[in-house]
Structure 1
Protein backbone atom coordinates (compact mmCIF):
# COMPACT_ATOMS: atom_id res chain seq x y z
CA UNK A 1 0.00 0.00 0.00
CA UNK A 2 1.28 3.45 -0.85
CA UNK A 3 -0.63 5.19 1.95
CA UNK A 4 -1.31 4.38 5.56
CA UNK A 5 -4.82 3.03 6.02
CA UNK A 6 -7.24 5.04 8.14
CA UNK A 7 -9.27 1.94 9.05
CA UNK A 8 -8.38 -1.38 10.65
CA UNK A 9 -6.93 -4.17 8.46
CA UNK A 10 -9.95 -6.37 9.24
CA UNK A 11 -12.47 -3.74 8.13
CA UNK A 12 -10.41 -3.01 5.03
CA UNK A 13 -10.19 -6.68 4.04
CA UNK A 14 -13.88 -7.32 4.66
CA UNK A 15 -14.89 -4.29 2.57
CA UNK A 16 -12.60 -5.34 -0.29
CA UNK A 17 -13.97 -8.88 -0.24
CA UNK A 18 -17.55 -7.58 -0.38
CA UNK A 19 -16.64 -5.46 -3.41
CA UNK A 20 -14.92 -8.32 -5.24
CA UNK A 21 -17.78 -10.73 -4.60
CA UNK A 22 -20.36 -8.21 -5.80
CA UNK A 23 -18.35 -7.46 -8.95
CA UNK A 24 -18.09 -11.14 -9.83
CA UNK A 25 -21.87 -11.47 -9.64
CA UNK A 26 -22.38 -9.12 -12.62
CA UNK A 27 -19.21 -8.67 -14.71
CA UNK A 28 -21.18 -7.28 -17.67
CA UNK A 29 -21.44 -3.92 -15.93
CA UNK A 30 -18.93 -1.86 -14.01
CA UNK A 31 -19.28 -1.92 -10.25
CA UNK A 32 -19.60 1.51 -8.65
CA UNK A 33 -18.62 2.04 -5.03
CA UNK A 34 -19.35 5.37 -3.30
CA UNK A 35 -17.43 6.40 -0.17
CA UNK A 36 -18.85 9.25 1.90
CA UNK A 37 -17.73 10.84 5.15
CA UNK A 38 -17.37 14.24 6.77
CA UNK A 39 -14.51 16.54 5.70
CA UNK A 40 -11.30 15.32 7.31
CA UNK A 41 -12.49 11.74 7.79
CA UNK A 42 -9.91 10.36 5.36
CA UNK A 43 -12.06 9.56 2.31
CA UNK A 44 -9.36 10.18 -0.30
CA UNK A 45 -6.85 8.07 1.59
CA UNK A 46 -9.21 5.16 2.20
CA UNK A 47 -10.41 5.20 -1.43
CA UNK A 48 -6.83 4.72 -2.64
CA UNK A 49 -5.99 2.12 0.02
CA UNK A 50 -9.22 0.21 -0.63
CA UNK A 51 -8.55 0.27 -4.38
CA UNK A 52 -5.10 -1.24 -3.73
CA UNK A 53 -6.64 -3.94 -1.53
CA UNK A 54 -9.25 -4.79 -4.18
CA UNK A 55 -6.56 -4.98 -6.89
CA UNK A 56 -4.51 -7.35 -4.74
CA UNK A 57 -7.54 -9.49 -4.00
CA UNK A 58 -8.54 -9.69 -7.67
CA UNK A 59 -5.06 -10.84 -8.64
CA UNK A 60 -5.14 -13.47 -5.92
CA UNK A 61 -8.66 -14.80 -6.38
CA UNK A 62 -9.36 -14.31 -10.08
CA UNK A 63 -8.00 -16.27 -13.04
CA UNK A 64 -9.30 -13.66 -15.49
CA UNK A 65 -6.30 -11.69 -16.85
CA UNK A 66 -8.48 -8.59 -17.20
CA UNK A 67 -8.81 -8.50 -13.41
CA UNK A 68 -5.03 -8.32 -13.12
CA UNK A 69 -4.74 -5.06 -15.05
CA UNK A 70 -3.50 -2.03 -13.09
CA UNK A 71 -6.51 -0.02 -14.31
CA UNK A 72 -9.02 -2.70 -13.34
CA UNK A 73 -9.83 -0.55 -10.29
CA UNK A 74 -9.86 3.27 -10.48
CA UNK A 75 -10.72 5.97 -7.95
CA UNK A 76 -12.51 9.23 -8.74
CA UNK A 77 -13.13 12.27 -6.49
CA UNK A 78 -16.41 14.16 -6.18
CA UNK A 79 -14.43 17.41 -5.87
CA UNK A 80 -14.33 17.77 -9.66
CA UNK A 81 -18.06 18.52 -9.56
CA UNK A 82 -17.77 21.77 -7.62
CA UNK A 83 -19.44 24.64 -9.40
CA UNK A 84 -16.87 26.99 -10.89
CA UNK A 85 -16.19 30.15 -8.89
CA UNK A 86 -17.79 32.24 -11.63
CA UNK A 87 -20.94 30.11 -11.34
CA UNK A 88 -21.03 30.61 -7.57
CA UNK A 89 -20.59 34.37 -7.91
CA UNK A 90 -23.46 34.45 -10.44
CA UNK A 91 -25.89 32.89 -7.95
CA UNK A 92 -28.45 35.20 -6.27
CA UNK A 93 -26.58 34.58 -2.99
CA UNK A 94 -23.15 34.84 -4.64
CA UNK A 95 -21.09 35.99 -1.61
CA UNK A 96 -22.61 33.28 0.58
CA UNK A 97 -22.06 30.66 -2.15
CA UNK A 98 -18.36 31.52 -2.33
CA UNK A 99 -18.08 31.53 1.47
CA UNK A 100 -19.93 28.21 1.82
CA UNK A 101 -18.15 26.44 -1.03
CA UNK A 102 -18.16 22.77 -0.11
CA UNK A 103 -21.82 22.74 0.97
CA UNK A 104 -24.01 20.29 -0.94
CA UNK A 105 -25.66 23.09 -2.96
CA UNK A 106 -22.26 24.32 -4.25
CA UNK A 107 -21.78 21.10 -6.24
CA UNK A 108 -23.37 20.13 -9.57
CA UNK A 109 -25.12 16.80 -8.88
CA UNK A 110 -26.69 16.67 -12.35
CA UNK A 111 -23.26 16.65 -13.97
CA UNK A 112 -22.05 14.02 -11.51
CA UNK A 113 -25.11 11.85 -12.10
CA UNK A 114 -24.66 12.04 -15.87
CA UNK A 115 -21.07 10.79 -15.61
CA UNK A 116 -21.95 8.03 -13.15
CA UNK A 117 -24.72 6.81 -15.44
CA UNK A 118 -22.27 6.74 -18.35
CA UNK A 119 -19.86 4.70 -16.23
CA UNK A 120 -22.67 2.26 -15.38
CA UNK A 121 -23.61 1.49 -18.98
CA UNK A 122 -23.56 -2.26 -19.71
CA UNK A 123 -20.47 -3.53 -21.45
CA UNK A 124 -20.47 -4.30 -25.14
CA UNK A 125 -19.18 -7.68 -26.28
CA UNK A 126 -15.88 -7.70 -28.14
CA UNK A 127 -16.36 -9.38 -31.54
CA UNK A 128 -12.99 -11.14 -31.49
CA UNK A 129 -12.95 -12.44 -27.92
CA UNK A 130 -16.57 -12.35 -26.77
CA UNK A 131 -15.40 -10.63 -23.57
CA UNK A 132 -17.05 -7.57 -21.99
CA UNK A 133 -15.79 -4.25 -23.35
CA UNK A 134 -16.60 -1.22 -21.19
CA UNK A 135 -16.96 2.29 -22.57
CA UNK A 136 -14.35 4.98 -21.87
CA UNK A 137 -15.46 7.88 -19.66
CA UNK A 138 -13.42 10.93 -18.70
CA UNK A 139 -14.24 12.67 -15.42
CA UNK A 140 -13.03 15.90 -13.79
CA UNK A 141 -10.81 16.51 -10.79
CA UNK A 142 -10.29 19.70 -8.78
CA UNK A 143 -7.28 21.91 -9.47
CA UNK A 144 -6.39 23.47 -6.14
CA UNK A 145 -3.81 25.73 -7.79
CA UNK A 146 -6.57 27.61 -9.65
CA UNK A 147 -9.48 26.82 -7.33
CA UNK A 148 -11.72 25.26 -9.99
CA UNK A 149 -12.45 21.87 -11.59
CA UNK A 150 -10.12 20.42 -14.20
CA UNK A 151 -12.26 18.76 -16.85
CA UNK A 152 -11.65 15.25 -18.22
CA UNK A 153 -8.62 14.76 -15.99
CA UNK A 154 -9.21 11.09 -15.13
CA UNK A 155 -9.73 8.48 -17.83
CA UNK A 156 -11.88 5.51 -16.85
CA UNK A 157 -10.74 3.21 -19.61
CA UNK A 158 -12.32 0.16 -21.17
CA UNK A 159 -10.14 -1.97 -18.89
CA UNK A 160 -11.67 -0.52 -15.74
CA UNK A 161 -14.23 -2.80 -14.10
CA UNK A 162 -14.54 -1.23 -10.64
CA UNK A 163 -14.79 2.49 -9.89
CA UNK A 164 -14.44 3.74 -6.32
CA UNK A 165 -15.74 7.29 -5.96
CA UNK A 166 -15.26 9.39 -2.84
CA UNK A 167 -16.94 12.57 -1.69
CA UNK A 168 -18.91 14.16 1.11
CA UNK A 169 -22.40 13.77 -0.34
CA UNK A 170 -22.41 10.47 -2.25
CA UNK A 171 -24.88 8.98 0.24
CA UNK A 172 -26.97 12.15 0.53
CA UNK A 173 -30.63 11.91 -0.55
CA UNK A 174 -31.88 15.34 0.48
CA UNK A 175 -32.94 16.39 -3.04
CA UNK A 176 -34.22 14.32 -5.97
CA UNK A 177 -31.00 14.86 -7.92
CA UNK A 178 -28.73 13.86 -5.05
CA UNK A 179 -30.93 10.82 -4.45
CA UNK A 180 -30.43 9.89 -8.10
CA UNK A 181 -26.67 10.22 -7.61
CA UNK A 182 -26.87 7.88 -4.63
CA UNK A 183 -28.83 5.30 -6.62
CA UNK A 184 -25.97 5.04 -9.11
CA UNK A 185 -23.84 3.17 -6.58
CA UNK A 186 -23.91 -0.58 -6.16
CA UNK A 187 -22.24 -0.32 -2.76
CA UNK A 188 -22.36 2.67 -0.43
CA UNK A 189 -19.59 3.04 2.15
CA UNK A 190 -19.57 5.49 5.04
CA UNK A 191 -16.30 6.40 6.73
CA UNK A 192 -17.27 7.16 10.32
CA UNK A 193 -14.98 9.62 12.09
CA UNK A 194 -15.41 11.58 15.34
CA UNK A 195 -16.07 15.23 14.56
CA UNK A 196 -13.26 16.50 16.79
CA UNK A 197 -10.74 14.18 15.15
CA UNK A 198 -11.82 15.28 11.66
CA UNK A 199 -11.67 18.94 12.71
CA UNK A 200 -8.08 18.62 13.87
CA UNK A 201 -7.12 16.95 10.60
CA UNK A 202 -8.71 19.81 8.64
CA UNK A 203 -6.98 22.35 10.88
CA UNK A 204 -3.59 20.78 10.18
CA UNK A 205 -4.42 20.65 6.47
CA UNK A 206 -5.32 24.35 6.40
CA UNK A 207 -2.12 25.24 8.28
CA UNK A 208 -0.05 23.50 5.59
CA UNK A 209 -2.11 24.39 2.50
CA UNK A 210 -2.90 28.02 3.33
CA UNK A 211 0.08 28.80 5.61
CA UNK A 212 -2.28 29.76 8.43
CA UNK A 213 -1.50 29.83 12.12
CA UNK A 214 -3.37 27.32 14.27
CA UNK A 215 -5.99 29.81 15.48
CA UNK A 216 -6.94 30.94 11.96
CA UNK A 217 -6.90 27.37 10.64
CA UNK A 218 -9.15 26.20 13.47
CA UNK A 219 -11.64 28.99 12.77
CA UNK A 220 -11.98 27.71 9.21
CA UNK A 221 -12.20 24.09 10.31
CA UNK A 222 -14.97 24.79 12.82
CA UNK A 223 -16.94 26.94 10.38
CA UNK A 224 -18.40 25.76 7.08
CA UNK A 225 -16.44 22.47 7.12
CA UNK A 226 -18.03 21.51 10.44
CA UNK A 227 -21.51 22.53 9.26
CA UNK A 228 -21.10 20.41 6.14
CA UNK A 229 -19.77 17.53 8.21
CA UNK A 230 -22.82 17.51 10.46
CA UNK A 231 -25.05 17.09 7.38
CA UNK A 232 -22.81 14.36 5.98
CA UNK A 233 -23.02 12.43 9.25
CA UNK A 234 -26.79 12.11 8.80
CA UNK A 235 -26.19 10.03 5.64
CA UNK A 236 -24.49 7.20 7.54
CA UNK A 237 -27.83 5.37 7.68
CA UNK A 238 -27.78 5.03 3.88
CA UNK A 239 -24.54 3.01 3.82
CA UNK A 240 -24.16 -0.69 3.05
CA UNK A 241 -20.77 -0.74 4.78
CA UNK A 242 -19.60 1.42 7.69
CA UNK A 243 -15.86 1.80 8.23
CA UNK A 244 -14.39 3.43 11.32
CA UNK A 245 -11.62 5.96 10.92
CA UNK A 246 -8.60 5.57 13.19
CA UNK A 247 -6.14 8.31 14.10
CA UNK A 248 -3.15 8.58 11.78
CA UNK A 249 -1.30 11.28 9.91
CA UNK A 250 -2.99 11.97 6.57
Structure 2
Protein backbone atom coordinates (compact mmCIF):
# COMPACT_ATOMS: atom_id res chain seq x y z
CA UNK A 1 0.00 0.00 0.00
CA UNK A 2 1.44 3.36 -1.03
CA UNK A 3 1.90 6.07 1.61
CA UNK A 4 -0.42 9.03 1.21
CA UNK A 5 0.51 12.72 1.22
CA UNK A 6 -2.51 15.06 1.27
CA UNK A 7 -2.46 17.49 -1.69
CA UNK A 8 -2.59 20.66 0.47
CA UNK A 9 0.99 19.81 1.47
CA UNK A 10 2.31 20.65 -1.99
CA UNK A 11 5.64 21.61 -0.44
CA UNK A 12 6.16 18.01 0.71
CA UNK A 13 5.47 16.78 -2.79
CA UNK A 14 7.85 19.38 -4.21
CA UNK A 15 10.61 18.19 -1.87
CA UNK A 16 9.90 14.60 -2.85
CA UNK A 17 10.14 15.51 -6.54
CA UNK A 18 13.38 17.45 -6.05
CA UNK A 19 14.93 14.44 -4.33
CA UNK A 20 14.44 12.51 -7.57
CA UNK A 21 16.59 14.90 -9.61
CA UNK A 22 20.02 13.36 -10.32
CA UNK A 23 22.99 14.95 -8.60
CA UNK A 24 25.11 16.99 -10.98
CA UNK A 25 23.81 16.70 -14.54
CA UNK A 26 20.67 14.97 -15.68
CA UNK A 27 16.93 15.30 -15.55
CA UNK A 28 14.03 13.48 -13.88
CA UNK A 29 10.42 13.09 -14.99
CA UNK A 30 7.58 12.65 -12.49
CA UNK A 31 4.27 11.39 -13.85
CA UNK A 32 0.92 12.36 -12.33
CA UNK A 33 -2.02 10.21 -13.45
CA UNK A 34 -5.70 10.21 -12.61
CA UNK A 35 -9.19 10.05 -14.05
CA UNK A 36 -10.87 13.04 -15.72
CA UNK A 37 -11.70 15.65 -13.09
CA UNK A 38 -9.38 14.20 -10.47
CA UNK A 39 -7.29 17.35 -10.06
CA UNK A 40 -4.06 16.18 -11.67
CA UNK A 41 -3.51 19.36 -13.69
CA UNK A 42 -3.94 21.53 -10.61
CA UNK A 43 -1.55 19.36 -8.63
CA UNK A 44 1.07 19.18 -11.40
CA UNK A 45 1.13 22.95 -11.85
CA UNK A 46 1.27 23.51 -8.09
CA UNK A 47 4.23 21.14 -7.70
CA UNK A 48 6.11 22.84 -10.54
CA UNK A 49 5.51 26.27 -8.98
CA UNK A 50 6.60 25.04 -5.55
CA UNK A 51 9.79 23.43 -6.91
CA UNK A 52 10.74 26.59 -8.78
CA UNK A 53 10.05 28.72 -5.71
CA UNK A 54 12.25 26.49 -3.55
CA UNK A 55 15.01 26.48 -6.15
CA UNK A 56 14.84 30.23 -6.73
CA UNK A 57 14.89 29.63 -10.49
CA UNK A 58 12.77 27.83 -13.11
CA UNK A 59 14.28 24.35 -12.99
CA UNK A 60 10.92 22.52 -13.23
CA UNK A 61 8.60 22.38 -16.23
CA UNK A 62 4.98 21.29 -16.67
CA UNK A 63 4.16 18.96 -19.55
CA UNK A 64 0.58 17.68 -20.09
CA UNK A 65 -0.37 14.61 -22.09
CA UNK A 66 -3.41 16.51 -23.42
CA UNK A 67 -1.28 18.12 -26.13
CA UNK A 68 -1.33 14.70 -27.80
CA UNK A 69 -5.08 14.68 -28.39
CA UNK A 70 -5.68 13.77 -32.01
CA UNK A 71 -7.09 16.69 -34.01
CA UNK A 72 -10.86 16.85 -34.42
CA UNK A 73 -10.54 16.26 -38.17
CA UNK A 74 -8.54 13.09 -37.50
CA UNK A 75 -11.06 11.89 -34.92
CA UNK A 76 -13.89 12.49 -37.39
CA UNK A 77 -12.05 10.48 -40.04
CA UNK A 78 -11.50 7.64 -37.56
CA UNK A 79 -15.09 7.75 -36.28
CA UNK A 80 -13.98 8.51 -32.73
CA UNK A 81 -14.99 12.15 -32.21
CA UNK A 82 -18.02 11.22 -30.10
CA UNK A 83 -15.71 9.77 -27.43
CA UNK A 84 -12.85 12.26 -27.54
CA UNK A 85 -10.63 11.65 -24.51
CA UNK A 86 -10.66 7.85 -24.77
CA UNK A 87 -7.28 6.14 -24.81
CA UNK A 88 -7.33 5.62 -28.58
CA UNK A 89 -8.01 9.30 -29.27
CA UNK A 90 -4.44 10.26 -28.28
CA UNK A 91 -1.14 9.94 -30.11
CA UNK A 92 0.41 7.72 -27.46
CA UNK A 93 3.45 6.89 -29.55
CA UNK A 94 4.14 10.59 -30.02
CA UNK A 95 3.92 11.19 -26.28
CA UNK A 96 6.36 8.36 -25.55
CA UNK A 97 8.76 9.76 -28.15
CA UNK A 98 8.55 13.21 -26.57
CA UNK A 99 9.48 11.92 -23.11
CA UNK A 100 12.37 9.97 -24.61
CA UNK A 101 13.59 13.21 -26.18
CA UNK A 102 13.14 15.10 -22.90
CA UNK A 103 15.55 12.67 -21.23
CA UNK A 104 18.00 12.28 -24.11
CA UNK A 105 18.21 15.82 -25.52
CA UNK A 106 19.23 18.20 -22.76
CA UNK A 107 21.48 20.59 -24.68
CA UNK A 108 18.70 22.41 -26.56
CA UNK A 109 15.02 23.25 -26.06
CA UNK A 110 12.52 20.45 -26.61
CA UNK A 111 9.19 21.87 -27.75
CA UNK A 112 5.86 20.21 -27.01
CA UNK A 113 2.19 20.76 -27.84
CA UNK A 114 -0.39 21.96 -25.35
CA UNK A 115 -4.17 21.52 -25.47
CA UNK A 116 -6.22 24.71 -25.85
CA UNK A 117 -9.62 24.11 -24.26
CA UNK A 118 -11.01 27.30 -25.79
CA UNK A 119 -10.76 25.75 -29.26
CA UNK A 120 -10.66 22.08 -28.21
CA UNK A 121 -7.50 21.36 -30.18
CA UNK A 122 -3.78 20.79 -29.51
CA UNK A 123 -1.44 23.68 -30.35
CA UNK A 124 2.02 22.64 -31.59
CA UNK A 125 5.15 24.06 -30.00
CA UNK A 126 3.26 25.75 -27.15
CA UNK A 127 5.54 24.48 -24.37
CA UNK A 128 9.32 24.28 -24.03
CA UNK A 129 11.58 22.13 -21.88
CA UNK A 130 14.73 24.23 -21.69
CA UNK A 131 18.31 22.99 -21.19
CA UNK A 132 18.31 24.25 -17.60
CA UNK A 133 15.20 22.20 -16.74
CA UNK A 134 16.07 19.51 -14.21
CA UNK A 135 12.58 18.25 -13.35
CA UNK A 136 9.66 17.68 -15.71
CA UNK A 137 6.21 17.02 -14.26
CA UNK A 138 3.97 15.27 -16.78
CA UNK A 139 0.30 14.58 -16.21
CA UNK A 140 -2.40 12.67 -18.00
CA UNK A 141 -5.10 10.05 -17.78
CA UNK A 142 -3.23 7.09 -19.18
CA UNK A 143 0.32 7.32 -17.82
CA UNK A 144 -0.13 4.03 -15.96
CA UNK A 145 -2.03 2.12 -18.65
CA UNK A 146 -0.29 -1.20 -19.30
CA UNK A 147 -1.17 -1.46 -23.00
CA UNK A 148 1.05 -0.40 -25.90
CA UNK A 149 2.44 2.16 -26.24
CA UNK A 150 1.57 3.50 -22.78
CA UNK A 151 3.51 0.77 -20.96
CA UNK A 152 6.68 2.24 -22.44
CA UNK A 153 6.28 5.33 -20.26
CA UNK A 154 7.02 3.60 -16.96
CA UNK A 155 10.82 3.21 -17.44
CA UNK A 156 11.00 6.92 -18.33
CA UNK A 157 9.35 8.13 -15.11
CA UNK A 158 11.27 8.46 -11.84
CA UNK A 159 7.97 8.11 -9.95
CA UNK A 160 4.27 7.93 -10.76
CA UNK A 161 1.64 9.56 -8.57
CA UNK A 162 -2.07 8.79 -8.88
CA UNK A 163 -4.61 11.43 -7.88
CA UNK A 164 -7.58 9.66 -6.28
CA UNK A 165 -10.80 11.67 -6.06
CA UNK A 166 -14.33 10.52 -5.14
CA UNK A 167 -16.50 9.97 -8.21
CA UNK A 168 -19.16 12.44 -7.07
CA UNK A 169 -16.60 15.24 -6.81
CA UNK A 170 -15.02 14.35 -10.15
CA UNK A 171 -18.41 14.43 -11.87
CA UNK A 172 -19.25 17.79 -10.31
CA UNK A 173 -16.00 19.27 -11.60
CA UNK A 174 -16.47 17.74 -15.05
CA UNK A 175 -20.01 19.04 -15.48
CA UNK A 176 -18.81 22.50 -14.47
CA UNK A 177 -15.89 22.29 -16.93
CA UNK A 178 -17.99 21.08 -19.86
CA UNK A 179 -20.61 23.74 -19.19
CA UNK A 180 -17.97 26.49 -19.08
CA UNK A 181 -16.66 25.30 -22.43
CA UNK A 182 -20.00 25.53 -24.19
CA UNK A 183 -22.06 22.40 -23.56
CA UNK A 184 -25.58 22.67 -22.22
CA UNK A 185 -26.00 21.40 -18.64
CA UNK A 186 -27.75 18.24 -19.91
CA UNK A 187 -25.05 17.58 -22.52
CA UNK A 188 -22.34 18.26 -19.93
CA UNK A 189 -23.84 15.73 -17.52
CA UNK A 190 -24.22 13.14 -20.28
CA UNK A 191 -20.60 13.55 -21.41
CA UNK A 192 -19.30 13.40 -17.82
CA UNK A 193 -21.22 10.19 -17.10
CA UNK A 194 -20.97 8.37 -20.42
CA UNK A 195 -17.66 9.40 -21.99
CA UNK A 196 -15.54 10.55 -19.05
CA UNK A 197 -17.09 7.82 -16.92
CA UNK A 198 -16.08 5.11 -19.39
CA UNK A 199 -12.51 6.44 -19.40
CA UNK A 200 -12.43 6.50 -15.59
CA UNK A 201 -13.39 2.83 -15.45
CA UNK A 202 -10.22 2.09 -17.42
CA UNK A 203 -8.03 4.52 -15.48
CA UNK A 204 -8.98 3.90 -11.84
CA UNK A 205 -7.58 0.34 -11.62
CA UNK A 206 -4.16 1.60 -12.79
CA UNK A 207 -3.74 3.34 -9.41
CA UNK A 208 -2.50 0.03 -8.03
CA UNK A 209 0.77 0.41 -9.95
CA UNK A 210 1.50 4.00 -8.85
CA UNK A 211 4.39 4.88 -6.57
CA UNK A 212 2.18 7.20 -4.53
CA UNK A 213 -1.54 7.78 -4.07
CA UNK A 214 -2.51 11.43 -3.53
CA UNK A 215 -5.87 12.60 -2.22
CA UNK A 216 -7.49 14.66 -4.97
CA UNK A 217 -9.69 16.83 -2.78
CA UNK A 218 -7.97 19.98 -3.99
CA UNK A 219 -9.24 23.38 -2.91
CA UNK A 220 -9.03 24.79 -6.46
CA UNK A 221 -9.88 23.68 -10.03
CA UNK A 222 -9.61 20.19 -11.46
CA UNK A 223 -7.62 18.44 -14.16
User: Same fold, TM exceeding 0.5?
Assistant: yes
CA distance in 2 between counterparts of 1:177 and 1:216 reads 32
The Cα of 1:122 is off from its aligned counterpart by: 6.4
Q: Identify the match of residue 32 of structure 2 among 32, 35, 38.
A: 35
Distance in 2 (CA, whole Å) between partners of 1:194 and 1:27 is: 40
Q: 1:242 aligned to 2:213?
A: yes
Q: CA deviation at 1:245?
A: 1.2
Task: Give the C-alpha shift of residue 148 in structure 1.
Answer: 2.0
State the match for 2:117 in structure 1. 144
TM-superposed deviation, 1:243: 0.7
Structure 2 alignment gaps of length 5 or more: 1-5
- TM-score, length of structure 1 as denominator length: 0.81
Q: Does 1:80 align with 2:67?
A: yes
Q: Are 2:152 and 1:165 aligned?
A: no
Gaps of 5+ in 1: 1-5, 60-67, 124-133
Provide the residue aligned with 2:12 in structure 1: 14
Query: Cα distance, 1:40 vs. partner?
Result: 0.5
Whole-Å Cα distance in 2 between the matches of residues 55 and 14 of structure 1? 14
Superposition map of 1:1-250 within 5 A:
7-9=7-9, 12-23=10-21, 25-57=22-54, 59=55, 68-70=56-58, 72-91=59-78, 94=79, 97-121=80-104, 123=106, 134-173=107-146, 175-210=147-182, 212-213=184-185, 215-246=186-217, 248-250=219-221
What secondary structure is seen at the aligned counterpart in 2 of 1:90? helix
Structure 1 residues 239 and 27, CA gap change in structure 2 (3 angstroms)? farther
The alpha-carbon deviation at position 211 of structure 1 amounts to 5.0
In 2, Cα distance between equivalents of 1:83 and 1:217 = 21
Q: Deviations over 1:110-145 (max 9, x none)?
A: 10011100001165xxxxxxxxxx431000011233
Distance 1:86 1:113 in 2: 23
The answer (yes or no) to whether the contact 2:117–2:181 under 8 Å persists in 1 is no
1:249: Cα distance to partner? 4.2
How far, CA to CA, are the matches of 1:22 and 1:83 in structure 2?
Answer: 32
Higher mean displacement: 216-225 or 75-84? 216-225
TM-score under structure 2 normalisation? 0.90
Partner of residue 62, structure 1:
none
Say which structure, 1 or 2, has more relative contact order (CA 8 Å, 6+ apart).
Answer: 2
2: distance between equivalents of 1:103 and 1:220? 12
SS of 1:51's equivalent in the other structure is helix
Deviation at 1:244, TM superposition (A): 0.3
Higher mean C-alpha displacement, 150-159 vs 81-90: 81-90
